[in-house]
Amino acid sequence: MLFIFENANKREFWMKNTKIHLDIGYFSPDGKLKEIHAAKPFDLTGVPSRSSEIQFVLEMNFQGFRKEEIKIGDRLNLNDVRQALQQRGFDPDNYNVDP
């Protein structure tokens, strides 16, 4: 699941009602993967980003980044993100998504 925020900031995700292990990837406003964290089921402590410049967060199945060979420094295709927002009736400019 991809989360898109209007502005970059420090982010923290938690796993309150999540029954499976997930990996959480934190991305900068230019779509660059900055961090990957493993998250445990039902963990209420949260998984905070180290960076304060996170605008996109991608949750994948545990080890999903590794299996898909996605690594630190790889980038989201922001044109695809813009298009996905538009298809869902959102204005990408409201989310500061610049291709």
**pLDDT tens across 35-71, in order?**
999 999 999 999 999 999 999 999 999 999 999 999 9
Better-predicted residue by pLDDT, 98 or 7: 7
pLDDT score recorded for residue 34:
98
Q: CA-CA distance, 40 to 16, in Å (whole number)?
A: 10
74 within domain boundaries:
yes
For residue 26, how far is the Cα from the chain centroid? 5
Nearest to 59 by CA among 73, 51, 70, 44: 70
CATH code (residue 57)? 2.60.120.1140
99 within domain boundaries:
no
For residue 87, how far is the Cα from the chain centroid? 19
90 within domain boundaries:
yes
Q: How many domains does the chain have?
A: 1
In 3-state terms the chain splits into helix, strand, coil percentages (rounded to 5) of 20, 35, 45
Q: Are 73 and 35 in contact (CB under 8 A)?
A: no
Task: Write out pLDDT tens, residues 2-21.
Answer: 999 999 999 999 999 999 99
81 within domain boundaries:
yes
pLDDT at 99 > cutoff 80: no
* Domain coverage including residue 14: 2-94
